Structure 1
Amino acid sequence: MNPEAIWEAAGPAERRLIGVALNPAAPVDVLLRLLASESAAVRMALCRDRALPDPVVDAVVAHPDGTTRGFFAENPYADPEQRARLVDDPEYRVRGRLSREPRADDVCLPRPLPDRTVVRIIETYESDFLWELNRLISPGLRRAMVTHPSVKVRIMGVNASSWGSLTAGVRDALVADPDPEVRKAADASRRSYERLRDSDAVREDLPAHHCHPRTHLLRYGALAPDVVAEALSQDAWLIAANDSAPPETVALLAAHPDPEVRTRVAARPDLGPAERRALAVDPDPGVRLALSVHPALSEAERAAIDYEVEQDGAYCHWPVYDPEVLPDPEQVRAHALSAHPLLRRRAAGERHLPADLVALLADDTDLGVRVLLGQNHPDAPAALLLRCFLEYNGRDRWHLTGHGNFPRTGLARFAGDEDPAVRRLALLDAELPPDTADRLTRDPDPQVRADAARHPRLPQDRIAALLDDPELAHRAAANPALPATTMYELIAAAGQQQQP
C-alpha cells in the first residue's frame, strides 16, 4: 500500500496518534509506545516524517517489521548516520528504500549517505538498486571512485561521460587494472569517448530517427560536414551548442531563421566578433538577452544592447553538490559589480560570496538578485530574507523561512495579511498572541489553519476542541503544548478502539 493509501485508510483515532507521533515534545516513552502500534499509518509518520531521538532510532532499527524499517530508510529528517544502520538489513525492500534519495520538502533537503555506507551498497546490493544511488554519493567519494580499492566501486566510477576529465595517469591505470572487469569497463568507456570524437564513427552511429542517442551524438559528437548539413535543416538547435562545430558552421547557425537556434548559439564561448555584433542587434529579444551576458563582452558593449530582464522568474535554492569546487573569486566579483542583472544573479547564488558583496547585493534593485542571495547565501541578513518572502511568490518561496537567519519574532503583524502565505509567517512567531493563534485556526486557508493548530501558543481549550475536529485533529495532536498526559490518554483510547 502506498503512503497516500495508508493515510486515507487511517481512522480518526489513528490520525490523532499520527499527530502525537509528529509532536516534537512527545517523550521517548510515548514514541516507543507508538512504534509498537498496530497502525501502519502511525508507524509511517513516526519513522518517516520527523527526526527521532537515539533510543527510538535503536528501536526502529531493531523493529521486526520490514515495512516499518523501510519507512525510516527513506526519512529525510534523520541523520544519514542513523539511516546507514539499515545498510545490511535482511529485507530487500528496506535496502531498496535506503538506496534511493529520500523525498524532500520545502525546507529539509536530502543529504548523502556516509561514504562507507555507499561503498557497502555498491559492493553488496543488487544491481537494480544502484541506478538511483547517484544523489546519495558524496562529491569526495565520487571523485575517488576510479581509484578506490574496491573493484566494484572502480567499475561504477568508470564511464564514458567522465573519461575525458580523468588524468592520463588514471586512465592508464584503469586500462591496466589488475581486475578484468575494471579493465573491461575502462576499455568500453575509452572506446565510447574516442568514438564520440571521431566524426566518421559519429556518422556511423547516428540513428536516422529522433531519439536520445541521436540527440546525444548531435550535441556532443564530432560532426562531419555532411552530418552538419543534414542537421542544419532538421536539428539545428541540437548542434548549436556542440563545441566541435567549426567556425563556418557557427556562422551559419548564428544566422539561422529559428530564434531558438540563435539563442543557443549566442551562449557559445567561441562565438566570433562578427557573430556577436550581428546577434547584439538581433530582432528577437531573447537572442539579444542571451548575447548580452556573453563572457567576451565588455560592460560598455553589454550596455549598448537593447535587452530586457523579466522579474517574474523562478528564483530557487541551488543545492551545493560539491562544496570543494569553488568559483573564481575574480569572476564572481566582476559579476556582482556588473550593471547586468543576470550576471549579478549568478553572483548572488554563490555561497562563498564575500561579506562586502553580500551587503551590496542585499540592496540590489533587481528582485532576482535579492531573492537568489536570500535563497543561497548562509549569511543572508534577516531583513533581506523577510523582504524576499514578502516580494517573491514563486517557486521555493517557503524555503526562505528555513534559513537560519529568518526572523522568528515580530511576525504576528502579518496575521491579517490578504496573502495566506504571508499569514503563515505569523505562525512562525514564537511570541504570537494566543488569541491570534486561536483565530487563525478558523482561517479560510487550510494551510494556515493547519499551522495554527500546531502553534505552541494556542490556548489549551482550543487544542482540546481541535482534537475532535475531523480536519485538524492530527495537527492539534502534534502541538508541542499538548500535555503528555493527553498523549497517553489518546494512546489508551486508540488501543481500546482496536480491541474486539
Structure 2
Amino acid sequence: MWIREKIWNEAGPAERRLAGLAVNPAAPVSLLLRLLADGPPAARMALCGDRDLPGSVVDALLAHPDRWARAVFASSPHADPAQRARLVDDPEFVVKAHLAEGPPNRWTVRRPRLPDPTVVHIINTYDGELVQGIDCQISAGLRRDMPTHPDPKVRLWGVGSWRSLPVGLRAALLADPNPEVRECAERHARHEDPQWVQRELPEHSCHARTGMLMHDALNRAVIDSVLTAPVGQGDRAMIAGNPSLPPDVVVLLAADPDPEVRGDIARRPDLGAAERRALAVDPDPKVRLALSTHPALTESERAGIDYEVPQDGYFGPCYQQSEPRDPAAVRRDALSAHPLLRRRAAGDQLLPADLLDLLAADPDLGVRVTLAQNHPDAPAELLLRSFLEYTGGDRVELLTRPQFPTVGLAAYAEHEDPAVRALVARDPELAPALADRLTRDPDPEVRGVLARHPNLPAARIVELLEDGELARHAAANPALDPALMEELVNAFVRTAC
C-alpha cells in the first residue's frame, strides 16, 4: 500500500521505534491502545497491518478517525476475517476497497475467506469497481452455491463460473426469473454458438481474439481461416487446445512445424494413438515432455519417452479446485514413475496419509517441495528440508506453516545462505551469546530477526534501541522491559506535545 511506504519513509527514528513496539507480542493491551490513540502514523500502520489484535484494540480501531489505519486493518493478513468484516459498511471508499481486495497476493492461496454473509452483503451493496476484488475471498461452499443462491445478485456472480457449470445449471440460469441473470447467462452461452463466434471474432490480434480462439466454439470457416490466413503468428497455437477442434485438425496440428503448437496438441485428452506415438519421438524435448504426462499413456509407454523434467521450476502453493479430484486419479499420479504426475498429486491438499508419507521421501525436489507447500499435515522435517533445498519463488511460504520446526535451528548459524541463518531466530533454545553475535551478522535480515529474539541479553536490547537500523526490531523484542516500553511511548508523547 503506497500510503504505508510514504508514512514509513517520512518517519523519524522515534516513530520507527514505536512501530516496532506496536508489533511486540508482549506489549500489554493498554500500551497498544495508547499507540493507537496517541502514537505516530507509522506505529498505527504496523499495529493495524502487521499483527493480530486483541478484541478491545479492534473495537477501538473500528472507531478510530484515521481511515488509512482502518484500511490497513481491512486487508491485513493477520486479522481474523470476521473482525475485518466489521468494516463492511465503513463510510470511507478506501476502507471498503481494501476489505473487498483482501490481503496481498502472496496470501491468496491459504488466505482465510470472509464470512459468507459479508460476501453476499458486499455483492449487494458495493459498486462494480469495488466488488471485483472479492473473488479470492469467497468460500468454496458459497462459490458452489452461487448459481442457485436465492439472491439474484449472487446468482449473477455465479454465472461467472459458466464453463465449469453442468448442463442443468446452465439451463436454469438461462431461464432464471431475474432478467439480469438471464441476460448474463445468454452472454456466456453465445460463446458456444460457432456462428456468433464467427461474426464477432476480431480481425486483428487482441485479447478478445485470443480468448475466443482458445475457448469458444469454432466452426470450420474460422478454423480454416486460422490455418490458411492467420492474423497473428500465434493463432495456430491458440486454437491447438480448443475443445471444439475436429479430429482431422487435431491430426493436422500434431504435425505442425511450430513446436509450441505440437506441445499444446500433445496435452489434448482427445489425442489419437497415432499422434501420441509420433509426438513421443518429437525432435523437440518440450513436446516430448508435454506428451509424457498424457492420461492415455501407460506407465511403460511413459517410460519409453525420452523426456527430461526441469528441476529449477516454481514449486509453491497450488490452486485448489472447488471440487476435489478423483481419489483414484490422484493415487495413480502419486504412484507414477513420472515426476510431473507425482508433483500434481503432491499439490492436492486432500492427499491421504499413506501417500503423504510416500511423497515426503520422493527423490524429486519438485515433489517434496510441492507437498510441503500444500499439504496441511506436511511433517516438520519435510518443511525444513524443503526450505534448505529450494530457493525459488514463494520459498518464504514454508515458514508460515505452524508445524515448521524450531528447536535445533541454531545449528544453521554458520550457513552460507542468509535466509537459512535467519532460521536461527526461530530456535527458543538459542544461546544468548550466539543471539548477540548474530545481531552483527553481515546480512540485514539476519541482524533484524535476531534483534527480536527473546534470548538476546537485556543490555544488548537496550543498546539496539539506539541503533538506527535495528531499533524497531529491538523494540519488537518480547523480552523488552515493560517499564521501558511505557517510557518509549511517554517520551514520544512528551516530544509530540
Partner of 2:446: 448
- CA displacement at 1:164 relative to structure 2: 6.2
- CA displacement at 1:172 relative to structure 2: 4.8
Cα distance between partner residues in 2 of 1:150 and 1:263: 44
Partner of 2:119: 118
Question: Which amino acid letter does the alignment assign opposite residue 217 of structure 2?
Answer: A
Partner of 1:347: 345
Gaps of 5+ in 1: none
Decide whether aligned partners of structure 1 residues 38 and 418 sit closer, same or farther in structure 2, where only a CA change above 3 A counts: closer
Decide whether aligned partners of structure 1 residues 172 and 278 sit closer, same or farther in structure 2, where only a CA change above 3 A counts: closer
Contact 1:438-1:462 at 8 Å conserved across structures:
yes
Q: TM-score under structure 1 normalisation?
A: 0.94
Cα distance between partner residues in 2 of 1:487 and 1:155: 52
Contact 2:101-2:134 at 8 Å conserved across structures:
yes
For residues 203-222 of structure 1, what are the structure 2 equivalents within 5 Å? 203-222=198-217
For residues 384-423 of structure 1, what are the structure 2 equivalents within 5 Å? 384-423=382-421
Cα distance between partner residues in 1 of 2:187 and 2:181: 10
Cα distance between partner residues in 2 of 1:480 and 1:66: 29
After superposition, the C-alpha distances for 1:272-327 in whole angstroms (9 at most, x for unaligned) are 011101100000000000000100000010000011111111111225463xx222
Decide whether aligned partners of structure 1 residues 408 and 38 sit closer, same or farther in structure 2, where only a CA change above 3 A counts: closer
Cα distance between partner residues in 1 of 2:277 and 2:260: 18
Decide whether aligned partners of structure 1 residues 174 and 268 sit closer, same or farther in structure 2, where only a CA change above 3 A counts: closer
Decide whether aligned partners of structure 1 residues 363 and 478 sit closer, same or farther in structure 2, where only a CA change above 3 A counts: same
- CA displacement at 1:243 relative to structure 2: 0.5
Question: 463-472 or 139-148, which moves further after superposition?
Answer: 139-148
Contact 1:103-1:110 at 8 Å conserved across structures:
no
Partner of 1:79: 80
Question: Which amino acid letter does the alignment assign opposite residue 193 of structure 2?
Answer: D
Partner of 1:96: 97
Gaps of 5+ in 2: none
After superposition, the C-alpha distances for 1:189-228 in whole angstroms (9 at most, x for unaligned) are 22441x3222222111110111111011101122222322
Cα distance between partner residues in 2 of 1:163 and 1:331: 22
Decide whether aligned partners of structure 1 residues 227 and 110 sit closer, same or farther in structure 2, where only a CA change above 3 A counts: same
Partner of 1:328: 326
- Aligned residue among 455, 464, 467 for 1:466: 464
Decide whether aligned partners of structure 1 residues 219 and 104 sit closer, same or farther in structure 2, where only a CA change above 3 A counts: closer
Partner of 2:335: 337
- Aligned residue among 229, 249, 256 for 2:224: 229
Partner of 2:240: 240
Cα distance between partner residues in 1 of 2:407 and 2:108: 19
Cα distance between partner residues in 2 of 1:237 and 1:22: 51
For residues 37-56 of structure 1, what are the structure 2 equivalents within 5 Å? 37=38, 39-56=40-57
- CA displacement at 1:151 relative to structure 2: 2.9
Residue 2 of structure 1 aligns to a residue whose secondary structure is helix
Residue 358 of structure 1 pairs with residue 356 of structure 2: yes
Partner of 1:13: 14
Question: 51-60 or 86-95, which moves further after superposition?
Answer: 86-95
For residues 160-199 of structure 1, what are the structure 2 equivalents within 5 Å? 162=162, 165-168=165-168, 170-178=169-177, 182-193=178-189, 195-199=190-194
The CA RMSD measured in Å over matched residues stands at 1.8
Question: Which amino acid letter does the alignment assign opposite residue 258 of structure 1?
Answer: D
Question: 249-258 or 147-156, which moves further after superposition?
Answer: 147-156
Contact 1:145-1:153 at 8 Å conserved across structures:
yes
Decide whether aligned partners of structure 1 residues 155 and 349 sit closer, same or farther in structure 2, where only a CA change above 3 A counts: closer
Cα distance between partner residues in 2 of 1:482 and 1:8: 25
Partner of 2:28: 27
Number of residue equivalences: 491
Runs (4+) of structure 1 exceeding 3 A deviation are: 104-109, 170-178, 319-322
- CA displacement at 1:166 relative to structure 2: 4.2
Question: Which amino acid letter does the alignment assign opposite residue 242 of structure 1?
Answer: N
Q: TM-score under structure 2 normalisation?
A: 0.95
- CA displacement at 1:106 relative to structure 2: 7.2
Contact 2:317-2:374 at 8 Å conserved across structures:
yes
Question: Which amino acid letter does the alignment assign opposite residue 324 of structure 2?
Answer: L
Cα distance between partner residues in 2 of 1:106 and 1:118: 18
- Aligned residue among 381, 384, 405 for 1:383: 381
Contact 1:76-1:109 at 8 Å conserved across structures:
no
For residues 139-150 of structure 1, what are the structure 2 equivalents within 5 Å? 139-150=140-151
Residue 133 of structure 1 aligns to a residue whose secondary structure is helix
Question: Which amino acid letter does the alignment assign opposite residue 427 of structure 1?
Answer: A
Cα distance between partner residues in 2 of 1:69 and 1:165: 38
Cα distance between partner residues in 1 of 2:469 and 2:304: 58
- CA displacement at 1:126 relative to structure 2: 2.2
Cα distance between partner residues in 2 of 1:423 and 1:441: 11
Question: 362-371 or 297-306, which moves further after superposition?
Answer: 362-371
Residue 427 of structure 1 aligns to a residue whose secondary structure is helix
Contact 1:107-1:399 at 8 Å conserved across structures:
no
- CA displacement at 1:51 relative to structure 2: 0.3
Contact 2:438-2:447 at 8 Å conserved across structures:
yes
Contact 2:309-2:340 at 8 Å conserved across structures:
yes
